[in-house]
Structure 1
Amino acid sequence: MNTTEIVLPGLVEPDGLQLRDRELPAPQPGQALVRVEASGVSFAEQQMRRGKYYDQPRFPFVPGYDLVGRVEQAGPGADPALVGRRVAAVTKIGGWATAALVDAGDLVPVPDGVDPAEAETVVVNGVTAWQMLHRIARVRPGGTILVLGANGGVGSTLVQLARHAGIRVVGTASPRHHDAVRSLGAEPVSYKDPHVYRQLRDLSPHGYDAVFDHVGGPGIAESWRLVRRGGALVSYGTAATRDDRGSSRLPVLLLFGRLLWWNLTPNGRRAGFYNLWAGRRNKPAHQAKLREDLTKVFALLAAGSLKAQVAARIPLTDAAEAVRLAESGTVAGKVVLIP
């Protein structure tokens, strides 16, 4: 099968993305050939474009952290019943294409009747939000959490999952997104307010059961101070250093060091960094956990308990426009590429 791909050739502006056509080989043992119906523009790709993602491959490569599509062919050893099924996968790279070869063990069935673009918005975002809330922070019903960037792809999903679980949510966002955040069930606070941390403290005087921080940088210390005794700080990004020059690894390593130090300090609180790929060395177990969690997220989406936050649907060939929009900070939810 031929595929059309978006190639990231190096450190380029969005207009520097390249379009190429090539023929895909037949699926190898354990692989499946997927005709892509939707792929997303996440913060990971924004970082990769700048060479700032922690473990990104060498240029050039095809971005695309996740995808939704239909299986066209199953390779030797892959379940032949997959053929014709709509599936989703977390790929890390390779999703910005019209067709892709994917490890069959990474495929998760998408419920019938769910729109591909809507399903795409909760693949990596849904798994990330579910695992941070239920596997790491383990917040109970009746608790209170703080979500930084509650209008973003992960943030908006996290808000909804928490509200569905009976958890109160306070979320930061630009004032232009407050109505959207409020409609999801969270209490919005402007991150641009000079007294934002005072406001956040006033909304939960005894602290938060969990704080979810994708920003990193100096503000991570303020997030730590907002965690109550028995609570958890879950860091999952370094957006504050997105445009910084220099090493892509140094900000992450500094953040790891700070979180480790706080964790070693006996104060009744926990701090950690969420990594979707942790445990990948035990591949079958990692795949099984991801499949279990994403299946639960898809079930909520199919039932209407989780609303997909599609910021825009843009043709794959207009990937530059999609990247600019995703990086503009003007949209709520996720920008989706449609091959």
Structure 2
Amino acid sequence: MTTTRVVLPGVVDPEGLRLEQVDLPAPTTGQVLVAVEASGISYAEQQMRRGRYYDQPAFPFTPGYDLVGTVVDLGPGTPAGLLGQRVAAMTKTGGWATHALVPAEDLVPVPAGVDPAEASTLVVNGITAWSMLHRSAKVRAGQTVLVHGANGGVGTVLAQLARDAGARVIGTASPRHHDALRDLGVEPVDYRGDVEAQVRALAPDGVDAVFDHVGGAGLFASHRLLRRGGTLVSYGTAATRDGSGSPTWPILKLMARLAWWNVRPDGRRATFFNVWAGRRNPARFQARIREDLGNVFARLADGRLTTHVAATFPLEEIVEAMRLAESRTIVGKVVLLPRGGGSAGR
């Protein structure tokens, strides 16, 4: 089987991404071959392009944190019923290709009638949002939460799931995205202003949970905004995306800060969410992924959750796709359609 894939050769501008065709071996024991129909551009790939993702593989490699596609070949020991099924998988790398070899145990069924591009927006983002909301912060009906970057890929899903759980949602974004947030039932604040003062005006006693992917100096305001019993869930260091030096150092500093806050007896909790946590226990990890993504897909199928596909592109237009994804002008997620198609601006 020949596959066309995107290659990230090193720290390059988007124009440095290249396409190549390679032969894939037949799937081995426990593997399946997936004809990829959609794969999203996540914030992780934006960091990888800069060499800033803290556990990315060595260059060169094919990015693609997730994929949605159809199983077209089976390796030994895989269930025969998988053949022809539409599935999703969280891959970390390898999704930006026309075909990919994936462990069968990592697959999650995609509900019938769900568009592949829409499903792709929910693989990494949906697992992250559901896990942070229900496992890390344990948000309940009647609580108030603050979502930073509520117009982004994770943010739009997180805001909707929080509303579905009965929570009040305050979200940061630039003013051009505020109407879109209001349509989701989110109370918007301008991230470029004094976020702490704006949130205090809406929630004088503070909030029950803050979801912060930015890190940096703003993390202190996120912690101060928690009321007693609240939880800060940190899940990234976007403030350091364009920095230099070790990509690990910002994470280590962040973890140290969260640990320090947790030893202070002030009734507030701070935690770091890593979507790959628990991987050392594969059975438990895979069960969690299937459950959480299954819950998200179910809400998409029954209309309680809507996706935000900012635009779709074929692999051949990866440069334009990457530039749009990094532009900070979109609501939702840019998705690659490796098997053809695409409509920029969708």
> Which bracket does the TM-score occupy, shorter chain normalised?
over 0.9
* Count of aligned positions: 338
Secondary structure at the residue paired with 1:244?
A: coil
- Alignment of 1:217 onto 2:230: no
Q: Which residue of 1 aligns with 2:246?
A: 247
5+ residue gaps, structure 1, are: none
Matches within 5 A, 1:318-329: 318-329=317-328
In 2, Cα distance between equivalents of 1:196 and 1:275: 25
- 2:95 aligns with 95
Q: How does 1:143-162 map to 2 (within 5 A)?
A: 143-162=143-162
CA RMSD after TM alignment: 0.6
| Residue 142 (structure 2) pairs with residue 125 (structure 1) | no
What CA deviation, in whole Å up to 9, does each residue of 1:243-292 have, x standing for no partner? 11111011111000000100111111110110010000001110011001
Read off the aligned partner of 1:274 and give its amino acid letter: F
Deviations 1:199-252 (A, max 9, x none): 111211111110000000111001000011101000001000111111101111
Distance 1:35 1:124 in 2: 19
> What percentage of aligned pairs have identical amino acids?
66
Distance 2:299 2:280 in 1: 29
Question: Within 5 Å, which residues of 2 pair with 1:296-335?
Answer: 296-335=295-334
Under a length normalisation based on structure 1, what TM-score does the superposition of the two structures give?
0.99
Match of 2:201 in 1: 202
Q: TM-score, normalised by structure 2?
A: 0.97
C-alpha displacement of 1:77? 1.1
Aligned to 2:342: none
Looking at structure 2, the residues matched to 100 and 164 of structure 1 have their Cα atoms a distance apart, in angstroms, of 34
- Distance in 2, matches of 1:99 and 1:163, equals 36
Mapped to 1, the partners of 2:172 and 2:144 lie a distance apart of 14
* Matched position secondary structure for 2:20: strand
**CA–CA separation in structure 2 for the residues paired with 1:196 and 1:267:** 22
Matched, 1:3 2:26: no
Q: Distance in 1 between matches of 2:200 and 2:316?
A: 45
One-letter amino acid of the structure 1 residue matched with residue 163 of structure 2: R
Residue-by-residue CA offset, 1:66-117 (whole Å, 9 max, x unaligned): 0000000111111110110000000000000000000110000000000000
1:227 is aligned to 2:241: no
Equivalent runs, 1:16-31 vs 2, <5 Å: 16-31=16-31
Partner of 2:343: none
The answer for the alignment partner of 1:70 in structure 2 is 70
CA distance in 1, matches of 2:270, 2:77: 41
Distance 2:287 2:25 in 1: 27
**1:116-147 superposed Cα distances (whole Å, 9 cap, x missing partner):** 00011111000000000000100110100000
Q: Provide the rounded CA distance (Å) in 1 between the counterparts of 2:242 and 2:130.
A: 28
Write out aligned runs for 1:7-86 (5 A).
7-86=7-86
* SS of residue in 1 equivalent to 2:245: coil
> Which string of whole-angstrom CA distances, capped at 9 and with x for unpartnered residues, describes residues 30-79 of structure 1?
11100000000000000000000010000000000000000001111111
- Secondary structure (helix, strand or coil) at the match of 1:255 reads helix
Asked if 1:276 corresponds to 2:265, the answer is: no
SS at match of 1:217: coil
- Do residues 291 (structure 1) and 290 (structure 2) align? yes
C-alpha displacement of 1:320: 1.1
Structure 1 letter corresponding to 2:159: V
1:196 CA displacement: 2.3
Q: Secondary structure at the match of 1:92?
A: coil
Query: In structure 2, how many angstroms separate the alpha carbons of the residues matched to 1:228 and 1:78?
Result: 49
